[in-house]
A = this chain, B = another copy of it.
Amino acid sequence: MPDLRKDPIVGRWVIIASARAKRPHDFDTSPVRQKGRFCPFCEGNEHATPDEILAYRKPGSTPNREGWRVRVIPNKFPALEIEGELNKRGEGIYDTMRGVGAHEVIIESPDHLVSTSELSEEQLREVLWVYRDRLVDLKKDPRFVYGMIFKNVGAAAGASLEHTHSQLIVTPIVPINVWEEMTGSLEFYNYRGRCVYCDMIQQELATEKRVVLDTPGFLAFSPFAGRFPFETWILPKTHSSHYENIRKSEVDELSGVLRQVIAKVESALDQPAYNYIIHTATFDTQELSHYHWHIEIIPSLTKTAGFEWGTGFYINPVPPEQAAAFLREIEVESREQQNIPTRETG
């Protein structure tokens, strides 16, 4: 008998269809990693991209030339454009505005790596710092209210380039999913006086069955009402609503947690395409007691079909407890002490 489970934050129900249960190797996850073609994101090819907005580079090196470790550029085909006013208006019963916003690409390595799991923890730390720097900068623009950082790896997850990169889209309105998370968690807070995410951390630590990785500062677990097989969330244990307020000690630790969790998912599922998304509070708020930033990791294993599009109700064929048990057991090496030579030092 399948289970129906309700997401305690947005109220979305999920069907956990154990009768359809799948072992990790039952999913078709054609690896999507072809090396060899010209890559505009590789070091030395800076001329092939728009000019950089920010880069962490070797002292004395020249912008838009070699010598960088992490590099941020405008998206060449932006979904939203940075210049201009919003011009909000009606068109009969419809509402519209100009597509003003920011759409940036964060190139995470000068080398042609293809996944977060291939970065050293030191490299990933710099990526996490770049995320923060860009949010802090863009939040100063009064036209913008939200910044969404996400990463698509593999064609099935929507990536069009292979070289490891993330994206930042900054929007002039609050996206509906963010609004639902923020109001859902506010309702919980108003009713119980606690942050729903803090409650989840407590309950997951107490029951242990959905825990994937537990470190002093972070908890990675399979959410009770996960929409997708092997969906995994990473939460900071210390309450905080805005990613951009992350502390240095948290960045130091998160780089290891994020890399290990992704390496576990990749090992379990034979290098699937995946997305990760940083869920954080809106720009126009100060620290909030009811909202808690976190990272959601979604392997691309299932097709979204008519039922999901119509209902917003997901069918997850892998009970989160099974996914967590599986991921928990997988050993992954730390890349903390490997001291990988980089172009800069080598």
Partner-B contacts on A (CB < 8 A): 1-6, 8, 10-13, 15-17, 19-20, 77-81, 84, 91-100, 146, 148, 150-152, 155-159, 167, 169, 171-173, 175-178, 180, 196, 199-200, 203, 206-207, 224-225, 275-279, 296, 298, 303-307, 309-313, 315
A153 to B79, CA, bound (A): 29
Knowing that A1-B84, A3-B97 are A-B contacts, what are 18 other residue pairs whose CB atoms are under 8 Å apart, sorted by A's residue number? Answer: A4-B98, A5-B96, A6-B94, A6-B95, A11-B176, A12-B176, A13-B175, A15-B79, A79-B315, A148-B307, A150-B305, A150-B309, A156-B303, A171-B311, A175-B311, A178-B311, A178-B312, A180-B312
- Measured CB to CB, the closest approach of chain B to A179, in angstroms, equals 8
For residue A248, give the distance in angstroms from its CB to the closest CB of chain B.
25
Q: Which of A8, A11, A279, A307 has the most CB of B within 10 A?
A: A307
The answer on a CB contact under 8 Å between B306 and A276 is yes
Residues of the B chain whose Cβ atoms lie less than 8 Å from the Cβ of A157: 303, 305-306
Of chain B, the residue at the smallest CB distance from A313 is B175
Residue of A1, A78, A278, A306 most packed against chain B (CB within 10 A): A306
Q: Is the CB of B81 within 8 A of A312?
A: no
A–B Cβ pairs within 8 angstroms, 23 of them:
A1-B81, A1-B84, A1-B100, A2-B79, A2-B81, A2-B98, A3-B96, A4-B98, A8-B95, A10-B176, A12-B176, A13-B176, A16-B99, A92-B199, A92-B203, A92-B206, A150-B310, A158-B304, A169-B307, A175-B310, A175-B312, A177-B312, A178-B311
